[in-house]
Amino acid sequence: MFMVADGGRRGYGLLLDDFWDQARSHGLPLPTERSISAASFCRARPKITSELLRLMLHEVASMSLESSFASQRWRGRRVFAADGTKINVQRSDDLERAFGIPRGGHCPQILVSVLFDVCAKLPIDVEIDPCASCERDQLLNMLSSLAAGDVLVLDRGYPAHRVFQELTHAKVDFLIRVPATNTFAVVDQLHASGGAEVVEWLYPPDGSPESWQPIKVRVVRLDMPDGSESFFVTSLRDESFTRTRLSELYHMRWEAEEFYKLVKGPYIGQGQFRSKSPEGIRQEVHALMLFLAITRVVMAATAKSAGVEYVTLSQKAAVLSVGCYITRLFLTSQDGAHAASQLRALLERVARARYKRRPDRAAPRRSFLPRRRWGPQGHVRG
């Protein structure tokens, strides 16, 4: 967790020295007087499995969603989004064999999909696979983290008969954006008719498994902020789910994009994960998600103790504060009074930083690619 909080800024040796110094300055006992070597740490890392960290993420998410985030819901329902992103990892033969190198690429790449509570802004599950994997398969592998009655919002990369069937079987409601043309027959019919919405049966294609059944869905045409039209397939057919509310629900999915911006951002993004083994990469990704989930729980506790709105707390301040207090919180668990005082200090620090509301603020994408040194006219100066 201390390594994740560092954001990939230092190597193992400097990181371990700082960990020992922080523990010593706060009177926290460690097994050795001096920091261990970087090689020893690398050899010991595999003893903590990535699956253990993933189970800890599940535990934090399930407990906090029913307690700390019980009020963070959309019209009384939990709302989730899933999305995937590709991340470059270190060059090594093991990583190349395990995850593959994309066509035209120069280093191995992983596909990471996160199941995300958009109301609580909390990651609840993660899947890590080779770069050529399918986001739909990753989504279906995470469905066990959802419960009947939850709502799942997905973008255009996910609609498929298999996804509809699995979500219906799990009794999870869905709102999925679909392409406007060359898509499902019911969508093509609505597009051609010019209507606003229609309720139709979605029939499985020929050759589908016998367990697949026709699904009654609602197809909706919605106006987007840029003036374009988009089409959605949803299981929310009740009259209370008006087209305006469905538009509101879809735009909540943007929180998943904001989460990936955080994961790749300058103050917690790892830049490039340290490990050169597949299990080490999974361990680091799971540890990052666990760290961010714990940060969100701290923010919820801060909102409750300080009597402020959860959405007004600064995410950046909370991430950096939890990283600063990580040794004091985890290594003082046997001294309840001292740990409680440190936790109160952490909550007070998080409460002091608030977001300034800036309507219509632009946030253009940033490229972290190296600047080109040569152009058509020769060497680029400046």
83: left (phi over 0), alpha (psi -120 to 50) or beta: beta
Identify the CA nearest to 196 among candidates 247, 154, 156: 247
Is the Cβ–Cβ distance between 234 and 217 less than 8 Å? yes
Q: Cα–Cα distance between 219 and 191 in angstroms, integer? A: 10
Q: What is the pTM of this model?
A: 0.90
Q: Cα–Cα distance between 296 and 120 in angstroms, integer? A: 8
User: What string of pLDDT tens digits covers the 382 residues of the chain?
Assistant: 999 999 888 899 999 999 999 888 888 888 899 999 999 999 999 999 999 999 999 999 999 998 889 889 999 999 999 999 999 999 999 999 999 999 998 999 999 999 999 999 999 999 999 999 999 999 999 999 999 999 999 999 899 999 999 999 999 999 999 988 888 888 888 888 888 899 999 999 999 999 999 999 999 999 887 778 899 999 999 888 999 999 999 999 999 999 998 998 888 988 889 999 999 999 999 999 999 999 999 999 999 999 999 999 999 999 999 999 988 888 765 667 878 888 999 999 999 999 877 666 666 767 767 777 777 777 776 5
Give the other-Cβ count within 10 Å of 281's Cβ: 26
Q: Cα–Cα distance between 353 and 45 in angstroms, integer? A: 35
Q: Could you tell me which residues are beta bridge partners of residue 116?
A: 81, 123
